[in-house]
């Protein structure tokens, strides 16, 4: 156990997030009376703030790092930001010596590292200045710097110029055939909640009608139906929801319409015909793994063959923009099994591939059974990420968005790859947060972006389907209030 002492400051949250990159096994304390102690002290001297981090084993100091910042002419907000970064840097340097772990994102603990690159590009920095800043201020590894810059540049075409009158629209269908053991998304198993689908669709249509007025002056740029698994609805209900969207809202300018078909065990020819009829431009057929034994272990009631058959059926029906999601680090999967997944996907040749690294979410059954679960070793995860990138590039898929999640194995990253011209604009806008996202349905979270004030407000819908059905008016009202509050 590592004991952490903070002196003259209380940036506990930031320190904890940083220490977690190296070890989960730590505690804050006030005494030095332990075998492993990490101490950070903040001092002021002549307009300078000085951060010193020391590491002791049994009272004996092993490592020390000190940095300072000149606070002259800085605003309070700037001082706070720079102080936190400086504290994290000295901690990082010491912890790196103690644990010798590969921490490629340096002191960055947030989930949107590409945002920093956009901010630097906005400030007019050139490539070299950006690389230098990422290296010096954040200690990001060179390979992640190159990746971040490549992604930011690819995203900019879609994000800029920003237009506050354009929005994206998300529709949540929170039903799934069975619940995957790692999942914490709004997903209700059909066996228990399937009988609520008709009523859910009625209420969802009420919410569509309710937000019509709220977005009448906005241009909907992208439409995304996700979940859960939208194709867990029958074709009639799917048709009803999509028809209501087109009847009630002005979708004449949408650049992209995605439906996460997701699980192959919910996809039928009839459902795909409904999607085709409504001109859905992009669908997802998600394997997660192309190994039957893993699919069974993670609680997905479908086989690899079903994935391949579904994919081929969608292709033969004219779907020319298909995404596939996979997860690295799934139970008992080694590099060879991941390679098998990638080889199978290569044969199918999708237009985009999203590679996730397993995150242990609080609300998942994986978290409950964490002690029984043997984690894929960190080094192996790094190799899996490298391998997936190699295969992606071979398939002509280039990285176009990236995010990290809390509680992710090894604190690595999720990367979306796509062929040129097949980038999902919705995903990019969600990541970079320069555009508001209106979200309807159970468990969805709307995000109102106020660029002038550098502020984002979230308005969440209830996750529970029964609650949603009973309280849909309240969900509409919550959004109305947020919009009106900011209109005055």
User: Of the listed pieces 44-52, 221-229, 393-401, 449-457, which binds ligand SF4 according to CB under 6 A?
Assistant: 221-229
User: Per rule CB under 6 A, is residue 185 in the interface with ligand SF4?
Assistant: yes
Which entry of ligand SF4, ligand SAM, none binds 356, CB below 5 to 8 A by partner kind?
ligand SAM
Strands 352-357 and 398-403: unpaired
Task: Report the residue from 114, 134, 169, 180 that binds ligand SF4 according to the rule CB under 6 A.
Answer: 180
Distance in angstroms (rounded) separating the CA atoms of residues 322 and 309: 14
Distance in angstroms (rounded) separating the CA atoms of residues 246 and 173: 17
Range list of H helices, 298-446: 304-316, 335-348, 365-368, 378-394, 425-432
Task: Report the residue from 182, 311, 403, 426 that binds ligand SAM according to the rule CB under 6 A.
Answer: 182
Q: Are 324 and 285 in contact (CB under 8 A)?
A: yes
User: Per rule CB under 6 A, is residue 148 in the interface with ligand SF4?
Assistant: no
Buried b (16+ CB within 10 A) or exposed e, 458-474: ebebbbebeebbebbee
- 117 or 418, CB closer to ligand SAM? 418
- 179 or 475, CB closer to ligand SF4? 179
User: Per rule CB under 6 A, is residue 179 in the interface with ligand SF4?
Assistant: yes
Three-point CA angle 282, 230, 234, nearest 5°: 115
- 179 or 395, CB closer to ligand SF4? 179
CB of 24 to ligand SAM, least distance (A): 17
Which entry of ligand SAM, ligand SF4, none binds 179, CB below 5 to 8 A by partner kind?
ligand SF4
User: Cis before residue 161, ω within 30 degrees of 0?
Assistant: yes
Distance of CA 220 to the CA centre of its chain: 22
- 229 or 237, CB closer to ligand SF4? 229
Task: Report the residue from 227, 399, 410, 416 that binds ligand SAM according to the rule CB under 6 A.
Answer: 227
Q: What part of residues 256-285 is at the interface with ligand SAM (CB under 6 A)? A: 260, 262-263
Read off the DSSP letter of residue 9.
Answer: -
Let me know how many helices (H) and strands (E) the chain has, helices first.
17, 18
- 22 or 182, CB closer to ligand SAM? 182
- 90 or 188, CB closer to ligand SAM? 188
Q: Are 322 and 384 in contact (CB under 8 A)?
A: no
Compose the 99-128 pattern: x for residues touching ligand SAM by CB under 6 A, - for all others: ------------------------------
Q: Are 433 and 449 in contact (CB under 8 A)?
A: yes
Compose the 312-341 pattern: x for residues touching ligand SAM by CB under 6 A, - for all others: -------------x-x--------------
User: Per rule CB under 6 A, is residue 415 in the interface with ligand SAM?
Assistant: no
User: Per rule CB under 6 A, is residue 226 in the interface with ligand SF4?
Assistant: no
Q: What part of residues 228-267 is at the interface with ligand SF4 (CB under 6 A)? A: 228-229, 262-263
Q: Is 38 exposed, middle or buried (CB count within 10 Å of its CB: 0-12, 13-18, 19+)?
A: buried
- 95 or 355, CB closer to ligand SAM? 355
Q: Give the relative orientation of helices 304-316 and 335-348 as an angle to the nearest 10 degrees.
A: 20
DSSP-assigned beta bridge partners for residue 45: 48
Contacts 24+ apart (CB under 8 A), 141-147: 141/102, 141/104, 141/105, 141/106, 143/104, 144/104, 144/105, 144/113, 147/399, 147/402, 147/415
Question: What is the phi/psi pair of residue 36, to 5°?
Answer: -120, 115
- 262 or 329, CB closer to ligand SF4? 262
Q: What part of residues 11-30 is at the interface with ligand SF4 (CB under 6 A)? A: none
CB of 300 to ligand SAM, least distance (A): 8
**Distance set, CA 420 to CA 51, 297, 329, 398 (Å):** 46, 35, 28, 8
Residues that bind ligand SAM (CB under 6 A): 176, 182-183, 185, 227-229, 260, 262-263, 286, 288, 325, 327, 356, 358-359, 361
Contact residues: ligand SF4, CB under 6 A: 176, 179-180, 183, 185, 187, 227-229, 262-263
């Amino acid at each position: 156990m590592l004991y952490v002492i903070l002196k003259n400051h209380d940036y506990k949250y930031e320190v904890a997030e940083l220490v977690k990159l190296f070890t989960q096994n730590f505690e804050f304390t006030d005494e030095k009376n332990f075998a492993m102690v990490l101490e950070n002290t903040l001092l002021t001297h002549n307009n300078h703030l000085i951060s010193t981090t020391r590491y002791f084993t049994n009272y004996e100091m092993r490592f020390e790092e000190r940095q300072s910042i000149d606070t002259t002419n800085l605003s309070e907000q700037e001082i706070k930001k720079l102080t936190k970064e400086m504290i994290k840097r000295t901690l990082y340097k010491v912890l790196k010596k103690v644990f010798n772990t590969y921490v490629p994102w340096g002191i960055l603990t947030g989930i949107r590292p590409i945002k920093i690159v956009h901010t630097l590009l906005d400030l007019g920095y050139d490539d070299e200045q950006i690389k230098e800043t990422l290296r010096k201020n954040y200690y990001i590894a060179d390979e992640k710097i190159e990746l971040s810059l490549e992604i930011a540049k690819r995203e900019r075409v879609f994000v800029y110029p920003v237009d506050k009158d354009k929005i994206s629209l998300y529709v949540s269908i929170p039903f799934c055939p069975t619940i995957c053991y790692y999942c914490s998304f709004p997903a209700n198993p059909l066996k228990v909640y399937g009988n609520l689908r008709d009523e859910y669709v009625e209420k969802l249509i009420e919410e569509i009608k309710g937000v019509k007025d709220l977005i009448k002056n906005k241009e909907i740029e992208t439409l995304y139906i996700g979940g859960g698994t939208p194709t867990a609805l029958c074709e009639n209900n799917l048709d009803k929801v999509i028809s209501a969207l087109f009847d009630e809202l002005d979708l004449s300018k949408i650049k992209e319409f995605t439906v996460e078909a997701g699980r192959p065990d919910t996809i039928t020819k009839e459902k795909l015909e409904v999607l085709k009829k409504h001109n859905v431009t992009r669908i997802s057929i998600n394997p997660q793994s192309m190994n039957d034994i893993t699919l069974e272990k993670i609680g997905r009631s479908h086989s690899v063959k079903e994935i391949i058959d579904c994919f081929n059926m969608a292709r033969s029906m004219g779907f020319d923009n298909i995404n596939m999601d996979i997860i690295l680090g799934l139970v008992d999967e080694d590099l060879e099994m991941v390679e098998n997944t990638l080889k199978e996907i290569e044969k199918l040749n999708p237009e985009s591939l999203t590679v996730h690294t397993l995150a242990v979410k609080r609300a998942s059954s994986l978290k409950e059974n964490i002690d029984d679960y043997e984690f894929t070793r960190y080094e192996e995860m790094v190799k899996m990420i490298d391998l997936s990138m190699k295969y992606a590039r071979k398939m002509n898929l280039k990285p176009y968005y990236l995010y990290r999640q809390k509680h992710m194995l090894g604190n690595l990253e999720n990367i979306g790859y796509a062929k040129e011209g097949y980038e999902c604009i919705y995903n990019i806008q969600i990541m970079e947060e320069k555009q508001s996202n209106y979200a309807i349905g159970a468990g969805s979270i709307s995000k109102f972006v106020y660029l002038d004030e550098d502020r984002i407000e979230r308005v969440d819908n209830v996750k529970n389907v029964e609650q949603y059905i009973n309280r849909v008016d309240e969900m509409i009202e919550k959004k109305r209030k947020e919009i009106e509050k900011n209109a005055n």
